Every structure is written in structure tokens, then in C-alpha cells.
Structure 1
Amino acid sequence: MVLPRRSDAQSLEAIARNASSFRRIAARIPTYLTDLRENPAWLPMFVLARTMPGRRVHWLTAKSVKPTENSNATMFAGVDRNTVVEALRSEGLFSGFFLPSSIQQEITHFAKQTPCFGNFDRRLEFLPTDHLVAEGDFGRALLSGHYFERILKCDAALAVQRDPLLHEVAAHYLGAQAQLITTRVWWSFPTQSVSDAEKNLASLDKYHFDLDDWRMLKFFFYLSDVDNDCGPHVYVRGSHNRRIIKHQLTLLVGHPADEVLGAYGTDNAITLTGPAGLGFVEDPFGFHMGTVPKQAPRLMMEVGFGVSRPSRRRFHGEPVIR
């Protein structure tokens, strides 16, 4: 038996990666076409916002923010807006928001009592407490459970969405054009036999950056306890401010971990763990990923801001990918 030489093995691995990349691009074509129909301005953003020169030019259009005192009414006592904005500018990440326990418990109760949709598919509807039964009934692994527009029926989720501190941080970081573009809550479940395609769709276990707008900011809140076995979020600190040429001149937003960490530093990969209620905010142009839970499901909330006209579909994180 003749074993392949290292260079041959590397070539085969590269071919396999490229084939997988082309399949992912092809699968996303329906989503791209839908985005283009909804908003023709999406195309120049999609092409240019992945490049550092394009982004720097667009950041010059950020408008200054008028002083406001609304943050006094925030539920996040003790969090200083300027400290958050400075951390975002330098590192792309700030962790230290904590939901009041009453808010966290109300959203969690709503999520446990409300049917969600598995793997972004509205045909796969189930109660999260029936996850294992639903996998048997549907005959497939259910990696995630999203609520889409149903979360807007939860008063506590709306209170987080409207919190003045979040809006002030977004405006001072993104510019006065900042506006709410996403509000979503979802489960990530431990499950067996998950395909790479399903992980990619759920943005799990693969470093990627978001490219839904020129400038974005996302607040995340853990609604369940999250340790290393419960699907923690990982962010590569500082990667929002720099990008190697290879990662600018490609249609792909996802890249292998060794490539990402080799370019931006293993020490900069921050794994965010903490109790239910912990919140953090990031510039999602930096490389990040969720991880697949091993022991217990993870319940999470996202409130996102951007500077362009929001999509009704993307407001709840619903893709068109089929």
C-alpha cells in the first residue's frame, strides 16, 4: 500500500474544501436573490463591505450623535456607555451586561411554553421540551429551534429590544443612522449525526463573519447557563479591524479555524461562558462562531443594529436557504 505524500494529501484536502465551499455558495443563491429583490443596494454592500477599504469609506458616512440622557432608564445598571463603545472600537467585543432575573426568567418561561421551528424550517414545529421526541417524529436531527416573529409576543423580550442603553451604544458606535434590524431568540440543542450543512446554516462550529450590512452591532444574552459543554459563543478579539487579503477577496464568510486563528492570533479567541442573564455585544464583522452544545441546550437572545433598511425576513433571522 502506497500512502499519499503530505503534499498530495494537502492537495486533496484543498480540493475537498473548495468543493464544499462551492456547494455552500450554490445553496445560498436563493437567499442572495431574495436579498437583491428586497433591496438592490444589497449587492454593492455584499461585494464591497467585505473589503477593508470599502468599509473604511463607508464608516466615514457615520453621523454624529446628539447628547441624550435616556440611558438613565436602562435595565442594565452600572454599565457605562463610553466604556462599552471604547471596548468595541479596540477589541470588537464587550462582555458585562446582565439581564434582571425577572426579565431573563420571563423570556425563558415564554420560550419553554411556545413551539419553535427546527433548523429554520417552519414545517418542523415542536415544543423545546419535546426535542428528543420531535427528532424521532421528524426523522432527523434538530440542531436549533427558532421563534421568528413569535418572540414579539413576549413583553420581556420587547423590553430588552427597546432598552435605551442598547440604542445609545449602537448610535455612538455605528453613527446616528443606527437602527434596529434583528430581534430573535433561539435554542441550540445537543444532538447526534449533525451534518456540516446543518452546522453551517446554524452558524455553529465554524469561524465566520456577518455580512448583512455595511456596519453592524449585535447584543447577545444567554437565557440559560452556558459553560464549555453548553455551546458557548467564541469571538476573535480585534479581527473586526483587520482582515488578510485572502479573507477580503472571497465570497465565503466562513473559514477553517486553523486559518482564522493563524491569521488573527489564537490568544485572541475569547470563549464566552457564564450564568443565565449574561450579555455581551460584538461587532459581527469580527470572526466568531457558536459551538454545538454537548450536554444541555442553550437558549439565547440577539438584538442587532445596522445602518441600512432592515429586511422583514432577516429581522427574525429567517433564511431563504432550502
Structure 2
Amino acid sequence: MNTASTDLEIAARSGSTLKRIRARIPTYLADVRENPAWLPMFMLARTMPGRRLHWLGARPFSANNRPASSIFAGVDAQEATARLRADGIQTGIDLPADIHEGIAAFARKTPCFGNFDRRLSFQPLEHDQAEQHFKRPLLSGHYFETILECPEVRTVQADPLLHEIAARYLGNQAKLITTRVWWSFPTRSASERDKSLASLDKFHFDLDDWRMLKFFFHLQPVDADTGPHVYVRGSHKRRVLRHQLTLLVGHSAEDVLDIYGRESPLTLTGPAGSGFVEDPFGFHMGTVPKTTPRLMMEVGFGVSKPSSRRFHGEPIVR
């Protein structure tokens, strides 16, 4: 590549980076106003020394609190926790058919909000018509607190096995902070800002709390063309210095895989109901669906008080 081409590529990447930062600044400012403790977390939780120091305060799991039953058959919480510590991810945490079918049925008939924007409400099965109506690409459709009207969703978020794994991994301070269901849609064109808000096509790590754990469930079958989730195994427990010091959490696949290993990514595909749990400090991304919408559920745990200003994960959209 000649010097001129290199300069153009650097300029393009810098422009994309600035757009991603600008898109998130209003949310960051609101988070600081609501909870000043958010800022030191946001600055220090990206560093390995800061994270290790905070992990020292994790209270050990109490075996006396082990649950008696769960909807998740055949999952050993202790074994799942050990795998999480080693790889940052554990698969095989699958929903029963009646549960994932009930959630999917609710999602198909209930209006969602496009691109995290409550002004862009539409029926998910009318996605193409909604893009024409709003005259913009709609990469995602979220339900926010509406999803808690679904009884099967409430059953999953209250399941004792999930709470046990979270307590074993994060410490007994672990608490439920996220329950969400969302669509990722195929679309013909999308801006960098929309992709940034949807966390698509860029490896990133989450900085919503000092310590977090997230369970994900496919509510429809997911294959290579359905925008599968990708996780970089082992990246939750090591981080090169430049990835600790940058204010950005999003990085190109080339940048991440050159450092953490070409063999490290795990692409999560599977039938409806298949699930997994991950430490979201590890690099991960959702890819843009090519043909079929992806419908996912997330149940997240952390150790800090969740935001009362907004439904967890909802940015301020201008």
C-alpha cells in the first residue's frame, strides 16, 4: 500500500472513531450526572490493575444458598463457572421449548423500538415497511421494559441457576441488572453511528460495571447468515496496554485477532433456545444479519446499583 492510500485509510478510521465517540457522549454525560461513581468505573475498569483490585472485594459464594431446582436441565453451576474463568464463555445453557417459544411469540406480536429510539416504534414483522416509513435503516428493535410483560421472560430472569452462576463468578454481591430482548435486522445500508449504537461489526468490550456476567439465548435459529454473536476466548483476562488506555471499546477484527489469536474467536450459532454465558469484558461483537433477523434475549448481572434514569442499556439518542 502506498503512502497516500495509507493516509486515506488512517483518516477514514479516525473519522469513524470520532463519529462513534460523538454518538455516545450524551449517554456518558447523563450517566455521570446520575451517578458520579460511574466515571471512575468507566476510566479504571478498562485497566487490568483496576479490575484486579476491584475483584479483591468479591465476597465468596455461599454454598448454603444453592438452589433446589431450575428450568435449565443438566447444567452444573460449578463446572460452568470454572469454564467461564478459563475461557470467558460457556455454552450449553439452553432454554426449554415452551419458554423460548413463549418469548418469541410475544416478541413477534409486540411493537419494538428501532435503533434504541423510542420514537421509532414498529411491528417487527413489518420491518421493511418501517424502514420506508421512517426513511432510514433500522438495524435493531428493542423492547426495553415492555418485555417484562412477558411471563416467560420473568421466569428466566428469576431462575436460581443463573443467580448461582453469577454469585459464584462475580461474588455474593451479584445482582440482576439487565433483562432485554431485541431484534437484529438485515438492512441495505447503515451509518457508522447506527452500527455503533447497535454494537454491530466491531469487536468491543462492555464497561457497564466493574464486574459483569451476561447470559444470552437464541429465540430463533441462528446460522452464519443470521448475524451470530462472536466471542474472543481468553480476552477477558488479558489486555494489551493500548487496549487498556484507549477511551474506545470498539476495535476492528484485524486489530483484535492479531493480538489475541486467530484461533480464539468462537462464533455462536444454534437452534432456537440455545444459550451461553460470557464475561462481557472479553472482546465480542454481534454481526449484521445477511438474510434472516436474529432475535436474542439477554439476562445480565453486575455488582453495582443499576441506573434508575433509563432502562439498562438504553442510550440517549439525538
Query: What is the TM-score with the length of structure 1 in the denominator?
Result: 0.96
Q: 1:240 aligns with which of 220, 236, 247?
A: 236
- Does the 8 Å contact 1:189/1:297 carry over to 2? yes
What does residue 269 of structure 1 align with? Answer: 265
Q: SS where residue 267 of structure 2 aligns?
A: strand
Q: How far 1:316 moved relative to its partner?
A: 4.0
Sequence identity percentage: 65
Tell me which residue corresponds to 2:74: 78
Structure 1, gaps ≥5 residues long: none
**Stretches of 4+ moved more than 6 A in 1?**
none
How big is the alpha-carbon RMSD for the aligned residues of Structure 1 and Structure 2?
Answer: 1.2
2:19 corresponds to 1:23:
yes
Provide the C-alpha distance between the structure 2 equivalents of 1:27 and 1:122, rounded to a whole number of angstroms: 16
Residue type of the alignment partner of 2:7: S
Check the 8 A contact 1:183/1:302 in 2, yes or no: yes
- CA distance in 2: counterparts of 1:228 and 1:313, whole angstroms: 36
Equivalent in 245, 249, 252 of residue 253 of structure 1: 249
CA drift of 1:16 comes to: 2.3
Out of 160, 172, 178, which is 1:176 matched to?
Answer: 172
CA change 1:141–1:108 in 2 (3 A) is same
- Number of residue-to-residue matches in the alignment: 318
Alpha carbons of structure 1 residues 227 and 261: separation in structure 2 relative to 1, 3 Å: same
Q: 1:60 aligns with which of 56, 61, 69?
A: 56
**In the aligned structure 1, how far is the partner of 2:306 from the partner of 2:228?**
28
Q: Distance in 1 between matches of 2:306 and 2:210?
A: 12
In the TM superposition, 1:79-94 aligns within 5 A as: 79-94=75-90
Which one of 195, 203, 209 corresponds to residue 205 of structure 2? 209
8 Å Cα contact 2:116-2:317 kept in structure 1: no
For 2:302, the equivalent position in structure 1 comes to 306
Aligned-pair CA distance for 1:71: 2.9
Deviation at 1:65? 1.8
Matched, 1:166 2:162: yes
SS of alignment partner, residue 72 of structure 1: coil
SS at the partner of 2:90? strand
Query: Does the 8 Å CA contact 1:313/1:319 hold for their aligned counterparts?
Result: no
Unaligned 5+ segments in structure 2 are none
- The answer to whether the Cα contact below 8 Å between 2:142 and 2:182 also exists between their aligned partners in 1 is yes
Q: Distance in 1 between the 2:4 and 2:44 partners?
A: 35
Task: Quote the offset at 1:10 in angstroms.
Answer: 2.1
Q: What is the deviation of 1:27?
A: 2.4
Superposed counterparts of 1:36-51, under 5 Å:
36-51=32-47
Aligned to 2:132: 136
Which residue identity does 1:17 align to in structure 2?
A: R
Distance in 2 between the 1:23 and 1:198 partners?
10
Counterparts of 1:321 and 1:32, CA distance in 2 = 12
1:104–1:223 contact (8 Å) kept in structure 2: yes
Per the TM alignment, residue 60 of structure 1 is displaced from its structure 2 partner at its CA by: 0.4
TM-score relative to the length of structure 2? 0.97
Per-residue deviation, 1:312:
3.1
One-letter code aligned to 1:108: A
Amino acid in the other structure paired with 1:86: A
Structure 2 equivalent of residue 11 of structure 1 = 7
The answer to whether structure 1 residue 279 and structure 2 residue 279 are counterparts is no
Once the two structures are superposed, the pairs formed by residues 72-151 of structure 1 within 5 Å of their partners are: 72-151=68-147
1: CA distance, partners of 2:253 / 2:188: 22
